[in-house]
Every structure is written in structure tokens, then in C-alpha cells.
Structure 1
Amino acid sequence: MSRAIRSPRHSIAERPFIVIWEVTRACPLACHHCRASAQPARDPRELDGADARALMRQVAAFGRPAPLFVITGGDPFQREDLNELISYGTSLGLRVAVSPSGTPTLTRANLTAVRDAGAVALSLSVDGSTAARHDAFRGVDGVFQWTVDAWRAARELGLKVQINTTLTRHSLHDLADIAALVRREGAMLWSGFLLVPTGRGAGLDALTPQEVEDALHFLYDCGSVIATKTTEAHHFRRVVLQRTLHEQCGTRPALGPLHRRLTARADELRLFDGPHRGVRRPPMDVSSGRGFVFVSHTGEVHPSGFLPVSAGNVKDRPLTDLYRTSDLFTSLREVGNLRGACGQCEFNRLCGGSRSRAHAVHGDLFATDPWCAYEPGTFLHRTELQEVLASCAP
């Protein structure tokens, strides 16, 4: 049971599991949810080549095995030196992944160059099961086809592919169809990103906690045929524990109408037919400041790309120091700082809620995650849960 949730092999107080670097904010798209409100032109304050190499040396200084290093944007292909940066990071022993935007730069030639420079994985966004739905969300016609073509090319080139889907009102009722697309095309991982209302995303309609609960349980269902994870939906770890115990005890959770509709659509699509995964992919116990760090295009260090609070700048203080000793990061690693329902919740050590969403909605890093439906202390199998939580204790 302790493997229902994975923990990083090394202390999250000493080194992050993943470092994401926003290489640029330049991007030709106008996605409705963009946290960065990306712009067409590059910012002259971006980390230049020398600064970027210094950053990668700081990441390598955490020790081996080094954190996963993800180059994101904006659109990373707007940097002419992208392949040089990938090659340099790889030479330092970093495992480098790239998260590009769905633009005409997603050519087979560019993907081949990225692979040859040393990148091991590609992360692509799919927010609709059809061109009409996806392109409407991304703000530019043609994005869906560029993305699918790149997806297929990347797999043929031997790159691992992660597909990201933003959970918004736009995509909720399309999730079964998107899951069917992911299963058909094949991916290393399907990640459901639960919207944080920041940047352009602040203008989108909020989901209800019950809708979020239903969506997370549907992602759990999909985990039987697709490797699934979440971003900024840390209560997915709670869902995984609850569902595992329900299955062991022969009970079922009480879910809402969205889950019933998604399940019915999945049945129509025969999503769960055929071979199932032998073992589910356990979610990783990583969240803002706890195994996760984000470096902005100007070098500011944040616990998450969706949490616009900085611990300092890598040009002034090494990333290793900022992650290990800054007040911001150390406070986020202390579960006793959580307030409200998150502070009272028996799952808080393995969940903790989204600090990014708490900050965006309440202006308080440690407030309750407003999109969580769980009421602390109400889970049916209390004795079994306590045994599981004890087995997961560090």
C-alpha cells in the first residue's frame, strides 16, 4: 500500500525532484489559461546564454542523480540557442526535457535537433479532442494538427512524450474523448493540470469542488489503461489512497453527475476495453517548494510557475541556497503552517492542497485549497487509512 504514493529518493529539503526553467515568455499563441500572459516578442531581461549555463551548473550542484530539468516557455523554440542549452545541460549530467508550444516550429527537423542535442522527453498540450475544440482554447487555428503531428514525430524519434490537458470548464466534458485520443496515439504520461486562476487564467470560470472531485476520480479510472498524473491537483494523491482503500474494502465512493457522464462517454468510446496496465503509476509526493522549483525567464525563483512569489534571483544567490534555506521554501515544507481545512485534514502531509491556488484565490499561501471538496475526517475507512498513513510516514 505504501507504493500507492511515491516519494523522491532523496530528501526534498535538500534537493528538488524537478526544476522547471521558463527559458522565454515569447510565444505566438494566445492561450486562454496562460499563467505568463505570453507575448510575441522576447523580453530583453531574459537570462542570456552565460546566465543560462550558470543556472544549469547550479541545478547540477544539487548532486547526482540531478533533478529533472524541464525547459519551458512561452515557446522554447523562440530561443535560437535552445539546442546549445540542451547540449550543455546534458553534458552536466542533467536529464533535459522540453515543453514547447503548439506552433509551426514543431517540425520533425526541430524535434530531431532537440533529440540529438540530448533531450530525453517532450511535453505537449492537448486541451481538446478535436481541432475545433483545441484551437479555440489556444487562440490560433492549426495548433491541434501541429501538436498531433509533433506528437507522432517525437514518438517515432524515440522521445518520451507527456501530454498535458488543462482541466477547465472548456475541457471537462471532453475528458473521455481526450483520454481516448491519448490512448490511441500513445504517450508516456497523461497529466491533468487543474487550472490556477492567475495570468490570463484569472478570467476563466472557476470549477466547483465537486466537478474537480469527479474529474480527479475519472483520471484515476483512466489510470487503469493510461499512465496518469496531475499538476496543481495535489488532492489527486488523496483520491488515489481513498480509491485504493475502497477497492480493498469492497466499497465505492459517492461521486457526482460529471463523473457519471464521463464514465458513460468512456463506455461509448470503449476506452476501458482491451488490455489494462499491469501496475498503476503511483503519483509522486511533490508540490510547490517540496521537491518542485520554478525559475522564471529573468531568473526569479518561485515554488511554482503558478505562484508569483519569489525567493530571490539566481543571478544574486545560488539556486541551491534559495531552495534549501530561503524562508519561502522552508515554510512551504512545514505542514504545520497550513490553515483551515487543509490544516485540519488527515491527508495534508501527502496532499497539502495547491498553495498556488490558495494564493490566487485567498491571497494567502497557507489557506485552504478552494477547489477541494473533501471534508476532513469524513473518509469511511478510518482505521485502514491510519495504518496506510503510518506506513507512508518518513
Structure 2
Amino acid sequence: MSKNNTVKKLSVETDTTIYEIELGQIQIAITGRCNMDCQHCRAANEIGEDMPIEQIVKIIRFGKRYSQAYKEVVISGGEPFAHKEFESVIKEVRKNGVESLTITTNGTLVTEKHLQLFKELAFRKLTFSVSLDSLDPLAHNEFRRHKNAYDLAIQAVKMIQKEKADNWITSLRMTLKPSMIDEMDDMIQFAKSFGVERVGFSSIHPSGAAISRPDFWMTKAQKKQFLENIFVLRKKYPLPFRIETNDPLKCIVRSDDCTEESSDRDDSIKFGGCGAAAVTFNVCANGDMTPCALMDLPMMNVFNLSIDEMAENYRKNEIVKNMLKMNLKGKCGTCKIKYSCGGCRARALGINGDYLGEDPDCWLDN
């Protein structure tokens, strides 16, 4: 194993504790380019440029060095398939040891040539997460501001299912306006009719283009209904079909659903709902590392840094330290499940202007 690939502990020292971090999922927005203009786009303010391949490789090597399990890399955008050197990017990702890869896509640019390449590269696990926000073509097209968004997304799903290898997972990703909660069951039935194995549901966060669209945000009562519906639907459609959400407030509904160890040590801290900056991170196409893809809160710009310098900046970063210590405010700070939930830091930042503030969607009165 080369020096760059040697697994190390990423030690972060606060005023009270030394944390030894094992990084989990890392997300890389390989391009700011996109062929849509979605009403809720989280990346609406990003520059439409491609991330250089050598920077993508460096980020992956950083993640691999500090992850014992090297869990998962998520490739996003913009629209990742719009990267001018997309095929070379994917080849380098695989060459640098990534075995579990998720690609988020609107589906419009996926080709059979791409799928043949994925077969040749033989990832241990490959997930295609295709956006489909409504079963009404006009509603989906309007939301995505693209006249063929619906038809092309369905075409991509059919193509993936036709070419599918045994280790591929096809997932539909539905981003819900508050009025669409009752459509969740229909979306699952639609997914199952195509042989799709997974549906991911998300509410709209107050970030990017959606920061000026409060009509897109769920109220506390709607969020409670949305998350309770997740578990009702999981009971109705049991495993192996998967129904997922990344909303940390799911911990309030089912505490056993969201807690996972930040390492395999007996004295490890448990991070469940929100591990932003603590055990996960996102890198935007311009090189800004942020706690998650929904938070416009740069921790550093990685473009002019070596892997060692990235690690040193990570260790010293106050956002990382605050998230490890869960130095939260308001009711999130005093909540008994803050380590397994933590609330959504992106919502706290978007609504309260403070990433450590309380999650405005939380319906608890503690």
C-alpha cells in the first residue's frame, strides 16, 4: 500500500477531548454545470465550471487516508454527467480504490456508453440516484424548468434497468414540496413497477434557490407527518425494498433508525442524524469544502492544498470542533438525543443564520 493510501486516524483536539475521526461518506460536486434550472437548486449560486480531475483524485485520496472502511463516495454536481471529462473522472475514481460509488443525476445525459463503462470498471457497489419529483410530467418539468425532464428521467431509469449489473442499485430521489406528501406511496408503487430497489425522500431545505421560497418549506406539523409517513411506508413495503430519508429528525420518530458509531471503538461517539463536518464533508466544484452539500459554509478551499495540509486545516477548523462537540444552541443544545439526531444544521443556518442554532423544523417542546 502506498504512502498516500495508508490509513491514519484524523485526530482533532478540542479544549476537552481528542477525537479520532474515521470519515464516512464524502461528497464531491465534480461540476457546477447543469442543463436544468431547478426551482429549489441547492447549487444555484455556484459557478458553472468543472472540477479538475487532479483535484477530484486528491479529495478521494484524502478521504481514503482517513477512513478505515472507506465507506462511500458520492459524485454530484451540478449535473455530474455534464462534466466535460466525465468518463476520465470515473476511471480515476475507480483507479484510486473507490469501490462504493453513488451518482446523483437528473437522468437527462445518461447514455448506454456510460453504462458500459460502469460495467467495465466493476465497482463493488454502484448506485444511480435519479431525481423524479412528481408522477405528473408537467409538474416535474416545471419544478426542474426543463420541458423534457420527466421523459428523460424515465428513459434513464429504463436504460439503467436494462443494462443493470448485479451490483447496481437504482434509486429514485423525490424532493417534496409540502403539498406532495400524499404522493409518496404512489412514487413507491411507480418505482417498484420498474424494478427499482430504493426510493429516497427529502423535504426542500432553505438553501440555494430555495432560500427565497418559504412556500417550499414544510411546517413543523408537515415535517412530522412526512417523517411518520416514511415509517408507515416502510412497514407497508418491507425490505429488501428500501425507503430512505436523510432528515435527522427521523430520530424523533424512530430512534433505532438513525444511530451509528463514528468508529468501531467501545468509547466512540455515536453520530446519527447529522454528521456534517464531524464524519462527513462535501467539496463544491470551486474547491470549497463544506460540512454538507446544503450548507454554504466553507471550511477551506482545497485546490491549493496538499493532502497533509487539508488534514491540518481539518484538525484546526472550528466548525469541525463544534460539530464533534455538538455545541448546539436552543432546544437542540439541551436535547437528550442530540448525538443521534443533532437536527439539520443546513436548516439552522438557512433560517437562523447560525449553523449551531436549533432546527426550525423540530416539533419537540423540550
TM-score tier (shorter)? 0.7 to 0.9
Counterpart in the other structure of 2:178: 169
1:357, 1:38 → 2: CA distance?
Answer: 17
1:156-207 alpha-carbon deviations (Å, 9 max, x no partner)? 3222122211132353332222122223323343222222111111132122
| Cα displacement (A) at 1:356 | 0.6
| Cα displacement (A) at 1:134 | 1.6
| Cα displacement (A) at 1:304 | 0.7
Judged with a 3 Å threshold, the aligned counterparts in structure 2 of structure 1 residues 124 and 321 are, in CA distance, closer, same or farther, namely: farther
Counterpart in the other structure of 2:219: 208
Higher mean C-alpha deviation, range 207-216 or range 110-119: 110-119
Q: Which amino acid aligns with 1:334?
A: K
1:22, 1:126 → 2: CA distance?
Answer: 20
Q: Which amino acid aligns with 1:209?
A: K
1:306-357 alpha-carbon deviations (Å, 9 max, x no partner)? 111111122244344444442111211212x111111122221110100010
Which residue of 298, 312, 331 maps to 2:322?
331
Does 1:151 pair with 2:157? yes
Higher mean C-alpha deviation, range 316-325 or range 58-67: 316-325
CA contact (8 A) 1:123 1:164 kept: yes
Counterpart in the other structure of 1:253: none
TM (norm. structure 1) is 0.75
Q: Which amino acid aligns with 1:221?
A: V
TM (norm. structure 2) is 0.81
CA contact (8 A) 1:238 1:350 kept: no
1:307, 1:13 → 2: CA distance?
Answer: 24
Does 1:298 pair with 2:279? no
Q: Which amino acid aligns with 1:228?
A: I
Higher strand residue share: 2
Q: Which amino acid aligns with 1:189?
A: R
Does 1:65 pair with 2:74? no
SS at match of 1:333: helix
Q: Which amino acid aligns with 1:327?
A: E
1:324, 1:188 → 2: CA distance?
Answer: 38
1:81-138 alpha-carbon deviations (Å, 9 max, x no partner)? 22222222212221222212232x1223323324434452211111102312221211
* 1:1-394 superposed matches below 5 A: 13-37=20-44, 42-43=48-49, 46-94=50-98, 95-103=100-108, 105-119=109-123, 120-156=126-162, 157-158=164-165, 159-204=168-213, 205=215, 206-224=217-235, 225=237, 226-231=241-246, 233-241=247-255, 285-317=273-305, 318=307, 319-335=310-326, 337-376=327-366
2:365, 2:324 → 1: CA distance?
Answer: 23
Higher mean C-alpha deviation, range 22-31 or range 314-323: 314-323
CA contact (8 A) 1:61 1:320 kept: no
Higher mean C-alpha deviation, range 207-216 or range 234-243: 234-243
Judged with a 3 Å threshold, the aligned counterparts in structure 2 of structure 1 residues 242 and 54 are, in CA distance, closer, same or farther, namely: closer
Counterpart in the other structure of 2:15: none
SS at match of 1:150: helix
Q: Which runs of 5+ in 1 are unaligned?
A: 1-9, 245-282, 377-394
| Cα displacement (A) at 1:287 | 2.8
SS at match of 2:254: helix
SS at match of 1:200: helix
CA contact (8 A) 1:86 1:118 kept: no
Q: Which runs of 5+ in 2 are unaligned?
A: 1-9, 12-18, 259-270
